[in-house]
Amino acid sequence: MSSSPNSPSSKVLVVDDSITITRLISSVLEKAGYQVQSALSGEEGLEAMERTRPDIVLCDIIMPGLDGYEFCRRVKQGKGTRDIPVILLTSKTDPEDKVKGLEIGAADYVTKPFDAGELRARVDLQYRLQVLQGELKERNRELDGIRLELVEKVEALSEANQHLADLEEKRRKALKMAYKVQLGLLPASEPEIGGFQFSSRFIPADDIAGDFYDFIPLARGRWGICIGDVAGKGLPASLLMVLTKTLLRTESLRECRPAEVLENVNRQIITHYGSEEAVTLFYGILDPSDNSFTYSNGGHEFPIIQSHNGRGCAELGAGGTFLGIFPDATFNEARVYLNAQDLLFCYTDGLYDLPVDGSVIRDEVRLQELMAAAGEPHKSSLIEKLVLSLADRRPGADDVTLISMTCLRSGPADQMGFIRIHNRPANLKEVRDFTKQIARQLTMSEQDAFDLVYAVDEAAANSVIHAYGPGGAGFIEIAFQVDRVAGQLSAQVVDHGVGLSKEVRSKTAAALDEDRLAASGR
């Protein structure tokens, strides 16, 4: 496949029973440099794919005979076509219709009537993703070739016991090359964002590592910030790190919510790498226009916010499980608003092995104690202190990656935070933890904090139990605002379900309440 969307080798197949639509799409894509072939039915589309293998397929959902869902299913079942991305064309706007297409393997949707610019952008995105995946596979093949070469030479060495020094030098050169490849994928510098100051460190334990981080410029002046850690060490971890970081950057540019980005990256890791290794990943979006930071966590160490006014530290815990193992994993997300001199600190678990003031950090409790002891965030030299301690860490310790972000300007006076969870009882713990964080920010008394957490928990639990019905899927959203003049805090709990009838509610509430209490540990 060519590396440019305008290459004459970039072929698109359009399957739609409307001649007008196929001509319109052909006109848009041919102007963009694509070769376009059309088919007026699903059956004709399958025949066309047997004759010529397109790079991308656009297919209408509603067609006589073989509809778009069945067409997509057959494409994904074909040995020679399963990797071809299928973009579904639809006038349907129901999320369940879109989820159905994604579950059978569709790569994206374009809603009719479509905008020509959006159509081309989505086709270009799928094409670029294929190009990136091809480049990644090629790079992985190169690294695998290096690894196999080293293995063969080491085995030969054990038999002959000759030229050990030369082979060791060649091995180190190969690992050095792999390390250079890895460094080339990491940010060259911290971003320059008005009102914010960044610092970062990446220290591998060996020649190559599984840690990674990134700063990703997004639309409307926003920035994506991520940090992750691949299980294991050496070349396998490095290869999975390359794949994960590439997929993350691609998905973040699709303008998805942080939770959706993690869900999409998780599915693609399993598709391209298999369910063999775990990846922890934290991803957030900073919007400097209102000092908001919206985030989701895939099993990573909880980042810590150190408050500007001495109210201590709080963890950003909303999210879900690690990536790379469970294909249907879902993630919660939350939003906080930063104020002047607030410090956000992200790290990988290798930090726990660092010795500070005579003992290793060991866990997040000790880390928060060190952050509090360092004083006000803008005067803190904690990262410099941690970097100095790297020289004394024990042999075999893990990679260490650190990111700090300091806010230098005041945030909105009324906005406190927001959390969005899937309607499952187990997720109520994240609601309680987030509400406790809000209470801590407002320096509430112990009794007032307890009352706030209890009230929000009851309202959220009511939505979880009653909003969507047994087996129904949806979201519960809780937003916190404060009226500082009146001295009032409001918490708005919103769901989008239709609720249950009185008869059904009485039969389901007891069972769901039991699940909720078990999940809360009360």
Q: Does residue 155 register a pLDDT over 80? A: no
Residues 6+ apart with CB under 8 A from 303: 227, 282, 284, 295, 297, 315, 316, 344, 345, 346, 347
For residue 171, what pLDDT is reported?
Answer: 63
Chain mean pLDDT for the chain: 83
Q: Each residue of 180-207: pLDDT tens digit?
A: 777 777 898 999 999 999 989 888 776 6
pLDDT at 505: 53
pLDDT > 60? residue 7: no
Mean predicted confidence (pLDDT) in 235-250: 86
> Which residues make Cβ contacts (< 8 Å) with residue 432, sequence separation at least 6?
453, 456, 457, 520
pLDDT of residue 197: 93
The mean per-residue pLDDT over the stretch 167-179 comes to: 68
The pLDDT assigned to 130 comes to: 81
Q: H or E stretch including 164?
A: helix 164-184
Whole-number Å distance between alpha carbons of 226 and 217: 12
Tokens describing residue 440: 């801590």
Q: Which of 52-66, 158-172, 259-273 has the lowest mean pLDDT?
A: 158-172
What percent of the chain is modeled with pLDDT above 90?
32
CB 354, CB 341: distance < 8 Å: no
Q: How do 86-90 and 108-111 pair as beta strands?
A: parallel
Q: What is the pTM of this model?
A: 0.64
Q: What angle do CA 241, 243, 246 make, to 5 degrees?
A: 105
Query: What six digits make up the tokens of 49?
Result: 């794919």
Residue matched to tokens 């104020």 = 339
Q: How far is CA 478 from CA 158, 201, 313, 438, in A?
A: 63, 35, 22, 12
Q: Is the pLDDT of residue 8 over 60?
A: no
Return the DSSP state at 219: G
Which of the residue ranges 78-87, 168-177, 427-436 would you say has the lowest mean pLDDT? Answer: 168-177
* pLDDT score, position 434: 94
Sheet (strand 400-407) strand order: 196-203, 400-407, 343-347, 304-306, 313-315
Residue 3 has pLDDT above 50, yes or no: no
pLDDT number for residue 427: 94
